[in-house]
């Protein structure tokens, strides 16, 4: 059975992984991103982060699949 591979870019560094590992990595990162949960509960980040802080946080992760 042939494994299927895909590229995961972290900043400008390409990493070759099995596609199931890439999918799992993206699931974990989505799970760790609490932005949607905070919106649904109408809460703010403890560091006083409003919309600007959330935008800065989103730009820090440079994953491209």
In a domain, 30, yes or no: yes
Domain with 32, as residue range(s), is: 23-47
Percentage of residues in the chain with pLDDT exceeding 90? 25
In a domain, 29, yes or no: yes
Domain count of the fold of the chain: 1
What are the pLDDT digits (tens) for 12-37? 999 999 999 999 988 888 888 888 77
In a domain, 56, yes or no: no
Strand partners, 18: 5
In a domain, 38, yes or no: yes
In a domain, 42, yes or no: yes
Buried b (16+ CB within 10 A) or exposed e, 32-52: eeeeeeeeeeeeeeeeeeeee
In a domain, 65, yes or no: no
Q: Indicate the pTM of the whole model.
A: 0.49
In a domain, 9, yes or no: no
């Amino acid at each position: 059975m042939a494994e299927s591979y895909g590229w995961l870019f972290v900043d400008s560094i390409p990493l070759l992984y099995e596609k199931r590992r890439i999918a799992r990595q993206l699931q974990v990162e989505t799970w760790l991103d609490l932005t949607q949960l905070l919106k649904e509960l109408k809460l703010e980040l403890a560091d006083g982060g409003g919309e600007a802080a959330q935008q800065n946080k989103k730009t820090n992760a440079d994953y491209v699949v």
